[in-house]
Structure 1
Amino acid sequence: VQVLVLAREMKLLKLGHIALDGTKIDANASKHKALSWAHANKIEAQLREEVQGLLALAETSDRASAPDGMDVPAEIARREDRLRAIAQAKAKIAQRAAERFKTEQQEFEAKQAKRQAQRDAGKKPRGKDPEPPQAGPMDSDQVNLTDEESRIMPVSGGSFEQSYNAQAGVDTQTMMVITRHVSQAPNDKREVVPTLEQIVALPAVLGEVQSLIADNGYCSQANVIACGDAGVEPLLALKRQSHHTPVMERFASDAPDPQTTDAVERMAHRLRTQAGRALYSLRKQTVEPVFGIIKRVMGWRQMSLRGLAKAQGEWSLVTMAWNIKRMYVLRAA
């Protein structure tokens, strides 16, 4: 924030529109060090069986010698240590599963309430009724033994890596990073609210953020409403934008404002206007170059530190370095 205030004092920055996006950053951990719930149970059963076998061997050691080179007490201790580590890993997986179930249950109840309200109003809800969430860990749930706060995430190219989701809100006029945070979520649905909290906390001297621009990965009714509550106009794509819009459609007159209080419908109308399309078109050319230059030119593609709090701090340092680099360019211009 101090760097942003300095940029404002140098007349290099005045807030207006923010483009938000995220990029996956490799954690300081290998995905091969991840332990899944199913594999943990399998290894746990194997180790317990081996411990019982070793205990039986120790009891009969006076009558039957152990294999050459085997230290039975050491082998038992090693397996008991592994069992304790697996128990700790399973407890963390179970805790995450309980947190996920709580969130999914709240979302399920909200969807059910919305559909019931539609029925009460005499309207038929679209689509199938949502399935209730399942409690407890799934076989694929896992924890990384090197950096337990990182997550397996899909990355470009269709593969999966042990990563963090680094978010940046970038000013469309100057390409300076205004908001930044690191998430453990593989998708971006829950990253709007943390961004809005940072926007609201910005000093008044920086100016007022008018709109938040993001792709359809950020779009939800809750996020649209949250933007309105924060006094920021949402421009969250409802679907993937088609390329090569017909020329007559691009220059057609705007439709009249919809007579509705529904925040999503009003945003959809705004995105269809010429001004809305022009603003949304700034998204990709604003935030994508920031990620590209940070990764390819500045050479930062992986976290050096472990744990979410330290990853947050590292991403803050990287984006601050970007802002100082950008200020140098803007000052020269």
Structure 2
Amino acid sequence: MRNFRQIDRDTSFLLPPSMDEWLPQRHLARFVVDVIDGLDLSAMTRSYRGSGSASYHPALLLGVVVYGYATGVFSSRKLERATYDSVAFRFIAANEHPDHDTIAAFRRRFLPQIEELFVKVLLLAREMGMLKLGTIGLDGTKIHANASRHSALSYEHAGKIEMQLKAEVAELTAMAEKADQADLADGLSIPEELARREERLARLAEARAKIEARAKERFEREQADYRAKMAARAAKAKAKGKKPGGKPPAPPVEGPRPTDQINLTDEDSRIMPVAGGAFDQCYNAQAVVTAGSMLVVATDVVQATNDKEQIEPMVGRIAALPQLLGTPDTLLADSGYFSQANVAACHTAGVEPLIAAGRQRHYPAVSGLFAEASPAPENPGHVQAMLHRLQTPEGKKLYAMRKYTPEPVFGIIKSVLGFRQFSLRGLDKVRGEWNLVTMAWNIKRMFALIPAY
């Protein structure tokens, strides 16, 4: 005779069920609640008027959002559904079920406050002995914008469409003049067709104006660089008493280029190269990660496709952190960040840089692994001293930490948690969402670093 457990879906609980009993004692959801309960959320609570129907407390909504980002649930609709389906989400939401509009509005509304909470979580990690700003790694990754690259419009193509629409408007106007003398096709409304094309013309004019404004800003930057290069060239010629070799730099060309683009869905995003040699509508997300703990201590999102100009602003963000967090001593970065100005910026900030001057081979020759470093140059500049340090065994060992400091964080966020596309649009909102993503990562990482919780 077979012996099975009885299936009974109709008997109700004798006493009200407790979410606390259903959730294991060591669980990320409990840690998220404890961390958020320890944060000062007065900046959020003060923004509520207190009138009308009772609102969900910011601690509850923040817990739902942070746990969602820490476990790979980013959609506000999926977060709402999880408050019904998941024991962990039910525990965080105290068995409440905020709808997706409330969750989405909360996320958009409090992005500036979340940036402040990002730093408070770092202070908590410092108090728990998990964070030490010694060696840090800087890297960037391309994350898809909430827009399709097929919504991008080039300056040249916008001009062609504008000419086509103007011709159609002229044709429709002529048809309107003859409307009393000839029958129109069924379903054709000339006023509606004219209004539709005039609306498209207005949008095209706005898009072209924004492209022209961007081109003007680019020309001013390039003109300043050109003047600086010409001044340096003239000073060099005066010092040597002869004309310097090589071709002089070409002056910048004013005005938009035919290939200059703007995205009609998210105009702040840019077409960027992605893995596999393709191009997509993206943002360039930056992160500074501490070696060992792999906690993110500074973030930014930029529109530049490369990382050459990101050292100075990221070093500034590190310097703006509270003094209680300490100061870093070494910054690791790949060759995309290398330039003489970037090395000087690190030294000015009191950070020793280790930035590769070129791409390293994946399989170097065996003889190079055991080769002794060349003697240190006499009176070296900052760049020469750094390049020599990279050749020493100590420098090689230190720089090797870069590969397992920021890169695994990006890999887990994008491939394990599945955060490959921003949900919000616009540079400011995207920066806020990246702060939310990295804060959720930090809390998840802190939970993993606790021996027993």
**TM-score strictly above 0.5:** yes
Please say which of residues 52-61 and 125-134 is displaced more in the overlay: 125-134
User: What CA distance in whole angstroms lies between the structure 2 residues aligned with 1:269 and 1:300?
Assistant: 39
| Superposition deviation, residue 254 in structure 1 | 4.1
Counterpart position of 1:283: 402
1:69 aligned onto 2:187: yes
User: What CA distance in whole angstroms lies between the structure 1 residues aligned with 2:245 and 2:188?
Assistant: 66
Give the TM-score normalised by the residue count of structure 2: 0.70
Question: For structure 2, which runs of at least 5 residues remain unmatched after alignment?
Answer: 1-118
* Aligned partner of residue 121 in structure 1, secondary structure: helix
Counterpart position of 1:274: 393
CA offsets, 1:296-327, max 9 Å, x none?
A: 11121110111111111111111111111111
Match of 1:212 among 317, 322, 331: 331
* Alignment length (residue pairs): 333
Q: Tell me which of the two structures has the higher relative contact order, counting C-alpha pairs closer than 8 angstroms and 6 or more residues apart.
A: 1
User: What CA distance in whole angstroms lies between the structure 1 residues aligned with 2:254 and 2:399?
Assistant: 40
Matches within 5 A, 1:126-141: 128-141=247-260
Please say which of residues 15-24 and 241-250 is displaced more in the overlay: 241-250
1:9 alignment partner AA: E
Give the TM-score normalised by the residue count of structure 1: 0.94
Counterpart position of 1:36: 154
Counterpart position of 2:174: 56
Counterpart position of 2:447: 328
Match of 2:164 among 46, 50, 71: 46
Instruction: Look at both structures and tell me which one has the larger radius of gyration over its CA atoms.
Output: 2
Counterpart position of 2:237: 119
2:341 alignment partner AA: A
CA offsets, 1:205-227, max 9 Å, x none?
A: 21211122111111122212211
User: What CA distance in whole angstroms lies between the structure 2 residues aligned with 1:129 and 1:215?
Assistant: 30
User: What CA distance in whole angstroms lies between the structure 2 residues aligned with 1:323 and 1:81?
Assistant: 46
User: What CA distance in whole angstroms lies between the structure 1 residues aligned with 2:150 and 2:414?
Assistant: 24
* Aligned partner of residue 281 in structure 1, secondary structure: helix
| Superposition deviation, residue 250 in structure 1 | 3.9
* Aligned partner of residue 100 in structure 1, secondary structure: helix
User: What CA distance in whole angstroms lies between the structure 1 residues aligned with 2:423 and 2:245?
Assistant: 47
1:318 alignment partner AA: V
> Over aligned residue pairs, what C-alpha RMSD do you find?
1.9
CA contact (8 A) 1:225 1:263 kept: yes
2:126 alignment partner AA: R
| Superposition deviation, residue 105 in structure 1 | 2.1
| Superposition deviation, residue 39 in structure 1 | 0.8
2:334 alignment partner AA: D
Counterpart position of 2:437: 318
1:185 aligned onto 2:298: no
CA contact (8 A) 1:171 1:177 kept: yes
1:115 alignment partner AA: R
Question: For structure 1, which runs of at least 5 residues remain unmatched after alignment?
Answer: none
1:145 alignment partner AA: L
CA contact (8 A) 1:251 1:274 kept: no
Match of 2:211 among 89, 93, 97: 93
* Aligned partner of residue 235 in structure 2, secondary structure: helix
Identity of paired residues, percent?
A: 57
* Aligned partner of residue 149 in structure 1, secondary structure: coil
Match of 1:176 among 284, 295, 302: 295
